[in-house]
Amino acid sequence: MEAAAAIRSTAAPRMPLAGRSRGPGTAAARAIPGSRGDWQTACAILSSTNDTPTPPAPKVNGQNSNKLAAPAIPGSEDAASSLDLVPAAGAGNLPRPLSISDLSPAPLHGAQLRVAYQGVPGAYSEAAAGKAYPGCEAIPCDQFEVAFQAVELWIADRAVLPVENSLGGSIHRNYDLLLRHRLHIVGEVQLPVHHCLLALPGVRRELLARVISHPQALAQCEHTLTRMGLNVAREAFDDTAGAAEHIAAHALRDTAAIASARAAELYGLQILADGVQDDAGNVTRFVMLAREPIIPRTDRPFKTSIVLAHDREGTSVLFKVLSAFAFRDISLTKIESRPHRHRPIRLVDDANIGTAKHFEYMFYIDFQASMADVRAQNALAEIQEFTSFLRVLGSYPMDMTPWDAAPASSSGSPSSSSDQQQRG
């Protein structure tokens, strides 16, 4: 229980709207009506209490978001000016992604769980949110940080964000955001990624001049596209489903997108080739984030994620960390180093070599043990003795669900609609 209390002590403070799902709440929360202006005022108060710096408000629908927000309340002008609670009209019935300047109010009591993800409908992150929380209301966000802020401001209940891919490696941006924000990892979900090559109906592969998608998706399909003879320009896009949406919205007949089959269905595109990833075992790991940590248990496999740093020993501290885990027979599943944003360079005075400069790093570590396990508690107690910073990002159940790789064609090459037509 001491471990659980230690984790809970790092939880982000509850916002005044907590009463919306747990009873009458505070007097301030009960006094908030449901009108647009009152919701803007309430969200402005929440935003003003959040210690995360808010960047300048971008334009929404061609207008400066400062003109769209309600009048600021005293003492919170900056926060109020960056909120627009009326979503712009999107194409069809698909929800428009939230942005930093465009946050909708939290659901009323009894509403289904709202889960934030980065991207547009049809993104793999949306599928991961549905797998993590079946029956949830998936809330698209245009940036990773917006998903973090949506949970912090009680706009969403959870966030599901990718942290690593079996082919493309780590998503460094989200590791940095895990340190910057005070959310907790409460679970993980592994999603097999099955890429398709999408284009407008009637477009043939030989007419393509470029392929667009998320940089990770382009990297995961690089060799397959070359084997298919698609030696065309490959351009990075914000996300996979967003690339498909862009082609449909602008009727680009010389462009294809790498995205999911669901994206093809949503945006009216045809699948030129199915299964274009270089490796059939292409899996992305997502973490589930919440405002409060969960209570660690020992009755099922758990994983714990931590981040640490040391001001003097630099990378040599890693040897001591590994020893602390190895001595207690605790398996590590991941080690990730990221630059120390506040101290990227460390000066070392040595009598033999003089003054030397070294890079300073933060280390992210995942290990297979629950914080309720005495071995994990003792390992972190030892590590804390020689580190200047140590934070538990979360202790959560491991995703043990078996997954099947996407079936490959008998020839080992991706199947395509044009090939099937020729064979028919």
Task: Write b or e for each residue in 225-260: b if 16 or more Cβ atoms lie within 10 A of its Cβ, otherwise e.
Answer: beebebeeebeebbbbbbbbbbbbeeebeebbbbbb
C-alpha distances in Å from residue 51, one per residue of 48, 149, 182: 8, 11, 10
Provide CATH code, domain 299-400: 3.30.70.260
Distance CA 101, CA 70 (A): 12
Using only the alpha carbons of the chain, give its radius of gyration: 24
- How far apart CA 304 and CA 27 sit, in angstroms, is 38
Place of tokens 């599901």: 160
Residues 19 and 349: their CA atoms lie apart, in Å, by 55
| Six token digits for residue 169 | 């490696």
Going by DSSP bridges, is the β-strand pair 184-192/283-290 parallel, antiparallel, or unpaired?
Answer: antiparallel
User: Which uninterrupted H or E stretch holds 385?
Assistant: helix 374-385
Angle between helical axes of 240-250 and 124-132 (0-180°, round to 10): 130
Domain 195-279 and domain 299-400 have a common topology: no
Type of residue numbered 219: A
Q: Distance (Å, rounded) from C-alpha 44 to C-alpha 71?
A: 10
Catalytic residue, from 148, 237, 286, 325: name it: 286
Q: Are strands 184-192 and 210-213 parallel, antiparallel or unpaired?
A: unpaired
pLDDT tens for each residue of the chain, 424 residues long: 444 444 444 444 433 333 333 333 333 333 333 333 443 443 343 444 444 444 444 333 334 434 333 333 333 334 333 333 233 334 566 766 766 555 544 444 445 899 999 999 999 999 999 999 999 999 999 999 999 999 999 999 999 999 999 888 899 999 999 999 999 999 999 999 999 999 999 999 999 999 999 998 999 999 999 999 999 999 999 889 999 999 999 999 999 999 999 999 999 999 999 999 998 889 999 999 999 999 999 999 999 999 998 866 655 788 899 999 999 999 999 999 888 765 544 444 454 444 444 567 889 999 999 999 999 999 999 999 989 899 999 999 999 887 665 443 333 445 554 444 433 3
For the chain, which residues make up each domain, given as ranges?
Answer: 113-192+282-292, 195-279, 299-400
- Distance, CA of 188 to CA of 251 (rounded, Å): 37
Q: Is 286 annotated in the active site?
A: yes
CA gap 162, 144 in Å, rounded: 9
Type of residue found at 97? P
Q: Say yes or no: domain 195-279 is CATH 3.90.550.10.
A: no
One of 284, 304, 325, 387 is an active-site residue; which one? 284
**Distance (Å, whole) CA 63 – CA 349:** 54
Q: How far is residue 74 from each of residues 35, 54, 57, 159, measured CA to CA in Å?
A: 19, 18, 19, 31
3-class state of residue 23 by DSSP: coil
pLDDT for the residue numbered 64: 43
Q: What is the pLDDT of residue 77?
A: 38
Please state which CATH number belongs to domain 113-192+282-292: 3.40.190.10
Distance CA 369, CA 122 (A): 34
Which string of DSSP letters, residue by residue, matches 136-169?
-EEEEESSHHHHHHHHHTTS-SEEEEEEEETTTE
| Interatomic CA distance for residues 78 and 219, integer angstroms | 40
186, 382, 394 from 3: Cα distances, Å: 15, 14, 11
End-to-end Cα distance, the chain: 65
Q: What is the pLDDT of residue 404?
A: 62
Long-range contacts of 407-413 (CB under 8 A, 24+ apart): 407/275, 407/280, 408/275, 408/280, 409/275, 413/224, 413/227, 413/228
- How far is residue 137 from each of residues 91, 113, 159, 206, measured CA to CA in Å? 19, 6, 11, 40
234 sits in which H/E element? strand 233-236
